[in-house]
Structure 1
Amino acid sequence: MTTTGEEHTAAHAGPWWWDRWRSAVFDAGLALVSAAECGAEGVPFARDAGLPLAAGVVFGVLAGSVLLIRRKWPIAVVLVAIAVTPAEMGFLMGAVGLYTLAAAELPRRIIGVLAGMSLVGTLIVTFVRVRQEMASGDLTLGDWFVPFAALATSLGLTAPPVLLGMYFGARRRLMESLRERADSLERELQLLAERAEERAEWARNEERTRIAREMHDVVAHRVSLMVVHSAALQAVARKDPEKAVRNAALVGDMGRQALTELREMLGVLRRSGDDGGGATRVPPARDRSQVPLAAVGAAAAAAAYRADPDAPAPAGGDGGPCLSELDELVGQSAAAGMVVDLSVEGELRGYAARIEQTAYRVVQEALTNVHKHAAGAKTHVRLAHRGAEIAMQVENEPPPEPASVTAARLPSGGNGLLGMRERVLALGGVFVSGPTDAGGFRVSAVIPAA
C-alpha cells in the first residue's frame, strides 16, 4: 500500500515552513554553526575595517543566522552570502545557500545568475587577497599562481554545491512524481474494483432474473394443465371412469415432463462450468471491497449464449423448445378441454435457437394465461413466417359462464406477461398485450428473424 500525498503531508507536519521537525532542527543546527563561523570571522574583519570587535562579531552572527531561512527564501540566503564575501566570511552559508537554491524549484535562469554572481564575487575577493599576500612577501610563487588560485577557489566554492543541489532536486522531484503516479494507480485500481463489483452484481441479478423466467416458463404451463386436468378428473371420476383414467394418465405424463425439465435445469445450475457449458455462478465476495475481477468474466461467460442470438443453446439440456413442437403444445391444451385453433402462414425455416425458444415461450405463456383466467374459452393461435421477422398472436374469446371454470382456481404470480415482454424486447422485437373489444384477451409479438 502506497502513501498518498495527503497522508504524507499529514504524517510529517513540522513548524512554520518546515515539512518535518527533523528538518527544522537540522536547519537550526546549520544556522548555529554558520553564526559561529561568521562571528569568528567578524573579528579580523572588524580589525581590518577599524571597527569595534563586538560590532564585527554581532555582524557576523546576524549574517550567519540567515541560513535558518534557507528553505523558505534561498535567494535571500545567497544574496547575503554574496554581500558578505568581501568581508571573507560566510563560506558555509554560501555553499549551503547555493545547494538549496539549485535544489529548489526555481527557474534555471535565476539559479544561473546567482551562481554566477557568487562565482565572480569569490573570484574577485580571492584574486585580491592572494595578490596582497604575494605583494607583502607571504607567498613567493610566480604571477601565474594568482589567477589560478582565484579561479580554483571560486570554482571549488561554487560548482560542487550547485551540481549537488541540482542532482538532489531532480531526484526529489522524480520521487514525488513516482509517488503521484502510485497514488493515481491506486485510485484507478479502487475505481476498477468498484466497477467490477457493480458489474458482478449486475451479472448476478441478470442470472437470477433469467433463472426465474426459465423456471416460470418451464413449470407454469405444465402445472396449469395438471390443475385443469385434475379438476376435470374430479368432475368425471364417477360419471365416466374411462375418461377419468385418460385424464389421470395425462396428469402423470405432464408431471413427469415437468420433473424432467426441472431436473435438467437444476443440473445445469449445479454444473461447475469446467467443460465450458452450463451456468457459471459468480462466487460472492466476503468483503464488498474485494470483488475479484474474474467474477465479471465468469458471469459474462455464463451469459455469452444469451448475448449472441446466433449461438447454439447451452450444453446440459436438449437445446430448449422449438417451433416444430408447437403442434404438441396446442394438443396438450386441447386435451385439457380448451378449443384451440392453430393457423400457420409461410414456411417454417431455420431460426436461431434463441428466436425459436422465445416464440415458443410466448405462445406457451399465452395459453397458460388462458387456462388460468379464461378456462374453456376458444383460443386462436396464429403464427406467421415473414421475410425478415416472425409474428405470433394468441387471442381468446370471452370465457363461458364462470360456473364451468372456477373449479381450477389457478394462482397467478403476475410475472408471465413481464417475462414475455423481456424476452421479446431483448431480441429487438415488439410485444403488445391487452383486452379485446369483444371481452377476450390478445397477446401479440413480432421478433426479427436475423
Structure 2
Amino acid sequence: MGLALVSALECAAEGVTFARDAGVPVFAGVAFGLVAGSVLLVRRIWPVAVVLVSIAITPAQMGLLMGVLGLYTLAASEAPRRVIAALSGMSFVGTFIVAIVETSRGVRHTSELGGEWFPPFVALTLAIGLTAPSVLLGLYVGARRRLMESLRERADSLERELQLLAERAEERAEWARGEERRRIAREMHDVVAHRVSLMVVHAAALQAVARKDPEKAVKNAALVGDMGRQALTELRKMLGVLRSETGSAQSGPGDGAARRSVVPRQVSEPERERVPVAAPSPAAVAVAAAAVGTGAGEAGEGPCLAELEELVGQSAAAGMVVRLSVQGEARECAREVEQTAYRVVQEALTNVHKHAAGARTHVRLAYRSAEIAMQVENEPPPEPGDASSARLPSGGNGLVGMKERVTALGGVFVSGPTDAGGFRVSAVIPAA
C-alpha cells in the first residue's frame, strides 16, 4: 500500500511535465499519473499487468518506481520464464529508446557534450540499470522462496511419515505383545496340560481301585508322582527360558525386535527310554517312574518325532487303549516341523483323555516325500457311567492352538467328529 501511494505521487508529479509537453490541462496529467501509479496495488496479483502499464507510460517519462517494482515482482513470481524474458526485453527496449531520444535532444542543446557515442552509452547504461538489477534480484528471491517452500513441504512430509511410522511401530509392538502372550500360553498349555491330564486320569483310577487292589493303587500313585515331577520339571524349564530371554531383552534397547526376542522357543523334554505300546505292566510303571530321572535335554530344544512312541506309551500306561502305526521311512526333519507334529499328537491324546476316556485310539504317522502327515482318531467313548472317566476340565483352546501351529508352517489342519461317533484330528506339514 505504501509503495503504491509513493508510485501514485511520483506519477502525478511527472504528469505535470507530461501535461505541459503534450499541451493538455495540468489536472488531466496529474489525474492520469495518479491512476497509472495506483496500478502498483495489484502487482502481487497481476504483475504482468503492472509491467505492461509501466511500459506503456514509459514514453511519457512516468512510472520509474512502478517499472522497477513491477519487473522485480514479475521475476519473483511463478510466471513462465519466457514471459519474464519477453516483458523484461520490452521494458529494456522502451527505456533505451526514451533515454536515447532525450539524451540526443539534450546533447544538441549543449555544445560541450558532442559526439555520436554519448547518447547510446547513456541510454544503454540507464536501460540496464533500470531493468537488470530488479529482474536478477526478483529471480533470486523467487528461487529462494520456492526452495524454502520445497524444504518446508519436505519437512512436513517427513514429519507425517515419521508420525505414520511411529503409529505403525506401535501397532506392530502391540501385535508382538499379543503374539507373545498367545505363544507363551500355547507353550504352557502344551508342556503342562498333557501331564496334568494324565495325573488326573491316574488319580481317578487310583480312587477306583484303592480298596480292591492295593498293589495297583500303589503303582498308580507312583505314576501320579512321576507325572507331577515331570510337569514341574518342564514348567521350571519353561520359566527359566522366559526369565533368561526376558532379562536379555531388558538389557538391550526397548524396541519391537527386543520385544519379539522375549517369545519363548520350544521347550525341551527329558530324553527317555523307549517303552512298548501296551497295557500297564510293572515294567511300564518302572520305566515311567525312571523317566524323570533320565537325562534332560538342553533348554531351547523341543521334543521330536523320535519321542512319539514314548508319548503314546505314557497314554497307554494311563489306561488308554492306543495303537501307533508309522508309514514310510523315518527321517529327521526341520526342528520346528518335528516339534509341531509332536505337539499335535500330544494335544490330541490329551483331548481323548479329557473327552473320551477309555476310548480306543489310533495314532498314525506317515513320512512322505515332501511332507509329514499325522492322524489321531478315537472310537466312541464308553458309557458315561464308566469309572475311567476323570471329568477333566477343558479350556477350549487345544484345537485352536494346534491349528495355529500347523498353519504357521504352511500346513493343513482338519478336525471333527467321525461317522462312527468318535473324533479325528488330522494334520499335514511340509517337511522342509
Is residue 381 from structure 1 mapped to residue 363 from structure 2 by the alignment?
A: yes
Greater displacement, 51-60 / 80-89: 51-60
Greater displacement, 374-383 / 315-324: 315-324
Match of 2:39 in 1: 66
Q: Map of 1:40-439 to 2, 5 A cutoff?
A: 40-137=13-110, 140-272=113-245, 295-299=255-259, 301=261, 317=299, 319-405=301-387, 407-439=389-421
Deviation at 1:77, TM superposition (A): 1.0
**Inter-CA distance 281–246: structure 2 relative to 1 (3 Å threshold):** farther
Deviation at 1:39, TM superposition (A): 1.6
Q: TM-score, normalised by structure 2?
A: 0.86
**1:379 is matched by which residue type in structure 2?**
T
Q: Deviations over 1:134-187 (max 9, x none)?
A: 222276343321111111111111111111111111111111222222222222
Deviation at 1:255, TM superposition (A): 1.2
Q: Secondary structure at the match of 1:98?
A: helix
Q: TM-score, normalised by structure 1?
A: 0.83
**Inter-CA distance 198–431: structure 2 relative to 1 (3 Å threshold):** same
Q: Deviations over 1:66-124 (max 9, x none)?
A: 11111111111111111221221211111001111111111222222211221111111
Distance in 1, matches of 2:264 and 2:190, equals 21
Deviation at 1:38, TM superposition (A): 1.4
Distance in 2, matches of 1:304 and 1:74, equals 70
Structure 2: tracts of 5 or more residues without a match: 267-296
Distance in 1, matches of 2:245 and 2:120, equals 88
CA contact (8 A) 1:134 1:141 kept: yes
CA contact (8 A) 1:228 1:336 kept: yes
Distance in 2, matches of 1:434 and 1:140, equals 116
Deviation at 1:410, TM superposition (A): 0.6
CA contact (8 A) 1:99 1:165 kept: yes
Structure 1: tracts of 5 or more residues without a match: 1-27, 284-291, 307-314
**2:255 is matched by which residue type in structure 1?**
A
Deviation at 1:303, TM superposition (A): 6.5
CA contact (8 A) 2:245 2:262 kept: no
Q: Secondary structure at the match of 1:446?
A: strand
**Inter-CA distance 363–357: structure 2 relative to 1 (3 Å threshold):** same
**1:396 is matched by which residue type in structure 2?**
N
Tell me how many residue pairs correspond in the alignment. Answer: 402
Deviation at 1:441, TM superposition (A): 1.9
Distance in 2, matches of 1:150 and 1:345, equals 106
Q: Secondary structure at the match of 1:125?
A: helix
Distance in 2, matches of 1:196 and 1:182, equals 20
